Structure 1
């Protein structure tokens, strides 16, 4: 194999690996389009998408979902608690609850998670109102 063929082969291999990484990230984090009304940051969106797509999320799993694809060192595990606290505050008015399994991680009740998934999978998102205006679910 000459240099040109080797370069072509490596580029093809690289493209395959990049596509596989995207598939794995989608499986881990999910591709949920969240309503703008929630006013979530990029990291909050990633965390919420992961919570919606999983029955239970450990703190380690949250760190992987939030930071591992960025090629940076991970922050302390406590940052997950901070993001969950911020998410809870922002989603409170929309009647969305994130629960804690102390010392292990976080989850959204199965019934509520399924309702959220169904709502978010609609092609045409209807406005999601806060509990002050009416219930989300």
Structure 2
């Protein structure tokens, strides 16, 4: 019985590590989000995700925001549109442009300028690195 418990604990640890890796892929902690933007957590997560690829589908953003919740299916997809609208308004004064294309997704223009060269944690305290989230 102890052997089974030990195997399960090892498997759980491996899966937790994999989840952290996938979260880092989707929303890298190396994204530099200036504090003066004042982004709430959801908007900061969306912004970080927009830096990961040229076009991010709305379904992918929805999954990134609510997929880790047991009641994730209770959050309507329109919430992504609402967060996106607020995010665009907050970052527009700083010269950041986010566009959307119907049936494709959202695009952050000049996205590479927001990715830090160093693998340091984000400058936004509202986005925690994978290690900080596991504590």
Scaled by the length of structure 1, the TM-score of the pair is 0.78
Which structure 2 segments of 5+ residues have no match? 124-135
Instruction: Point out which structure has higher relative CO (alpha carbons under 8 A, 6+ apart).
Output: 2
Provide the alpha-carbon RMSD of the alignment.
2.0
Runs of 4+ in 1 over 3 A off after TM superposition: 120-123
Cα deviation, residue 38, structure 1: 1.0
Once the two structures are overlaid, the 10-residue window that deviates more, 72-81 or 84-93, is 72-81
User: How far is 1:103 from its partner?
Assistant: 3.2
- Structure-2 separation of matches of 1:33 and 1:15: 29
Gaps (5+ residues) in structure 1? 127-137
Higher share in helix: 1
- Which structure's CA Rg is the greater one? 1
Equivalent pair of 2:28/2:49 in contact (CA under 8 Å): yes
- Tell me by how many angstroms 1:116 deviates: 2.3
Equivalent positions of 1:53-72 (< 5 A) are: 53-72=52-71
Q: 2:130 maps to which residue?
A: none
CA contact (8 A) 2:55 2:104 kept: no
User: What secondary structure is seen at the aligned counterpart in 1 of 2:62?
Assistant: helix
- Number of residue pairs matched? 119
